Copies of this chain bind each other. A is one copy, B any other.
Amino acid sequence: MSQIDPAVTEAVHLTAGRARQAARQLAAASSTIKNQALLAMADGLIAAADLIVQENRVDLELGQENGLSSALLDRLALTPERIIGIVESLRDLVGQDDPVGQLVRGTTLPNGIRLRQIRVPLGVIGVIYEARPNVTAETAGLALKSGNAVILRGGSAAQRTNHAIVEVLRQAAGQVGLPVDVIQTIDSEGRAGVQALMRARGLVDLLVPRGGAGLIQAVVTEAQVPVIETGVGNCHVYVDASADLVQASQIVLNSKTQRPSVCNAAETLLVDQAVADSFLPQILAALASQSVKLHLDERAGALAPAGVDWLPAVSADWDTEYLALEMAVGVVDGLDAAIEHIQRHSSGHTEVICTADLARAQRFTDRVDAAAVMVNVSTRFTDGGQFGLGAEVGISTQKLHARGPMGLAELTTTKWICWGQGQVRT
């Protein structure tokens, strides 16, 4: 691993130290105070909207000069409407249950000890993300409501925008009597700052990378602090022989095209050979008509209607998260072959079966190992909001701590509390 400038390490450690102090005060804050802070953050963003948009314009101009793609520029851009969206997501958090202090389980032991396991904040959370300024405020809001101090590191292309947002959020925290250091950034420390944060063992309780597969992979392999892997979704839809093919067609189209750039979009379609003849020609035509670029295996290719453009699928296609209007399509010999394909290529995000057969639906949900396994619904439902869990800091594709949408409860840990009357062990 590369050396880090000691001055950067020191700056990051000082930031983390301030976060720890702030986290201790925040952990003791009531839900009322935290909700007041969220409302002050929302009001502050509205009051500062002009300034934020102005700073964002500078970031956008620099981005254009630096040749950012139009997709990246679109993610970076903040309009007054988008600021309203952020403000609303902060206000929505007020209505959500505060997980801190919730009882997980408890009992009175035979020896009279009163035992309770309750939820407590993790402490200091680091979040590394790309140039998406909405993530700044939403992540800070989630951290605050769950009682955690947060250290943010956004993409450098959004540095001015993030700075303006973070200043507003810090002031809002201060207004209600919380330490301003519950929200900090290390944006000014550059890439070395990210490295130092990843190595800050004992100073950071959780690091969440939010972004593309490259960012996540780098953080997961290099970090020496606890990390939760989020968001890589190589999601499959399997259409079983017994499926209602009209319904299956709607599910495939929705999973692929409703918002192709996100992790819960489908990337691969698998079709049982028994219905390949009847299903594939129409779904391939429908996908093509929605500009989906098709990568077909041999059997699927043989069923492509005339006039539909396609490429032969190569082995890398089965492991590719296109995040675009692009899909790999294969024909499989029944349910178990589909499960086997999914087991080999799944990123553990969301896997769907379209079927009318109860036993096959059960076998699929039993055998497929992923954050979400679904029967007869679009992959696009794997989402904190859709699941009724509220806002999310990301969708965990790992198995430890949290799996699937990570909301407020997933940003907490637990503490066992024992009240006794002098018990000793014999």
What is the interface of chain A, defined by CB distance below 8 A to chain B? 24, 27-28, 107, 109, 113, 115, 117, 120, 122-123, 201, 205-206, 220-221, 224, 226, 228, 244, 247, 250-251, 253-255, 258, 343, 361, 365-367, 369-378, 380-382, 386-388, 398-401, 403-404, 413-426
Contact = CB atoms under 8 A, between A and B. Distances in A.
A255 to B, nearest CB: 8
**Dominant SS among interface residues on chain A:** mixed
Contacts of A244: 422
So how many copies of this chain end up in the complex? 2
B221 A377 contact: no
Given A253-B424, A258-B425, A376-B419, 10 more contacts: A28-B366, A107-B388, A206-B400, A228-B400, A254-B424, A361-B419, A372-B418, A373-B418, A377-B418, A377-B419
Given A373-B417, A404-B416, A424 B387 contact: no
Contacts of A120: 369
Contacts of A422: 244, 247, 250-251, 376-377
A224 B415 CA distance: 27
5 contacts: A24-B343, A247-B422, A369-B415, A377-B418, A378-B425
A282 to B, nearest CB: 17
Contacts of A28: 366-367
Contact of A415 (B221, B372, B423): B372
Given A120-B369, A399-B122, A381 B254 contact: no
Contacts of A255: 424
B109 A416 contact: no
Given A201-B221, A375-B420, A425-B386, A381 B113 contact: yes
A425 B381 contact: yes
B404 A373 contact: no
A77 B416 CA distance: 34
A370 B247 contact: no
A388 to B, nearest CB: 6
Nearest to A20: B343
Contacts of A421: 376
A137 B254 CA distance: 50
A115 B425 contact: no
Contacts of A367: 24, 28
Contact of A388 (B24, B109, B254, B426): B109
B381 A400 contact: no
A199 to B, nearest CB: 9
A113 B120 CA distance: 31
A27 B220 CA distance: 27
A161 to B, nearest CB: 29
Contact of A401 (B224, B250, B400): B400
Contacts of A401: 400-401
Contact of A387 (B115, B258, B373): B115
Contact of A382 (B123, B224, B381, B416): B416
Contact of A400 (B107, B254, B413): B413
B424 A374 contact: no
Could you say which of A109, A206, A370, A382 has the most chain B C-beta atoms within 10 Å of its C-beta? A109
B113 A377 contact: yes
Q: Which of A376, A386, A415 has most B Cβ within 10 Å?
A: A415
Contacts of A424: 250-251, 253-255, 258, 377-378, 380
Nearest to A354: B422
Contact of A420 (B24, B107, B258, B377): B377
A269 to B, nearest CB: 15
A109 B381 CA distance: 11
Contact of A205 (B27, B371, B399, B426): B399
A337 B415 CA distance: 21
A359 to B, nearest CB: 14
A426 B399 CA distance: 30
